[in-house]
Amino acid sequence: MQWYRFVSSGKVQHVFYRKFVSQAMMRAGFNGYVRNLDDGTVETVIFITDEETDIPRVLKILEEGSPMSEVEKITYAPVEDVSVDTDGFEIRY
């Protein structure tokens, strides 16, 4: 069990991408958050319980995105210093 940081790039800001991701992650039962970054990318931090099944599920949601988004690339890595005070999924501003 580990926190992971995913960064989506492409046309992912101002196209309801965060809202789509947040709702899809809640439906899938993930904990974490999604937020815009200053460089035009979107960061999604998620608690992964089973890497083999959860990471492909997360990537599928992030790749799909909102109807107006165009995801070009997603990078991800485990992270240690995460501050999440939620038992669900939230949009951070």
Annotated catalytic residues are 18, 36
**What is the distance between the alpha carbons of residues 41 and 37, in angstroms, rounded to a whole number?**
5
Q: What is the DSSP string of 13-58?
A: SSSSHHHHHHHHHHHHT--EEEEE-TTS-EEEEEEES-HHHHHHHH
Tokens linked to 3: 């926190």
